Amino acid sequence: MKKDIKIPEVTNVFMAIVKEYNSDFRCDDWNVYLIDNKTTDLEVVLIVSRGYDEKDQTSIMRKKIERLPANSYAKVEFIQPELFKLNNEFKVTFFADNQLFEKTFLFPKNTIKDSAMRVIKELDKKGIISK
């Protein structure tokens, strides 16, 4: 039964972690974004995130985005720098063109750091992207 379910490969959808200045608190914050580079909208987007390693694990966070327009992005959540020592995983499920898509994005432990940041053209900001 499970073998009969076909979930197509996800293309042109990315997760990014970006360091941004927070003018309210006058500090830098790290935020997670979902980027839709598809020519179609993403509908009923469900994001399940967690941090983990061999001995520690965070709570599981869930986020829903009703609709993410084509060629756009959405801020998903704030992420604390203390979690960068863990693997940070984001399971994203959505509908596009009446099909179900699913992909797991992983930021391996200790890879979220200033030296790894690059310009993310879709956001016009510096950050780290997971494809």
pLDDT band at 29 (very low <50, low <70, confident <90, very high): very high
Distances (CA, A) of 65 to 10, 15, 48, 74, 83: 17, 14, 12, 8, 23
Cα–Cα distance, 76 to 74 (Å, whole number): 6
- What pLDDT digit, counting tens, does each position of 52-74 carry? 999 999 999 999 999 999 999 99
- 30 closest CA partner among 131, 125, 104: 125
pLDDT band at 5 (very low <50, low <70, confident <90, very high): confident
Residue 2 pLDDT more than 70?
no
Of all residues in the chain, the percent with pLDDT exceeding 90 is: 91
**The tokens of 32 are what?**
């997670």
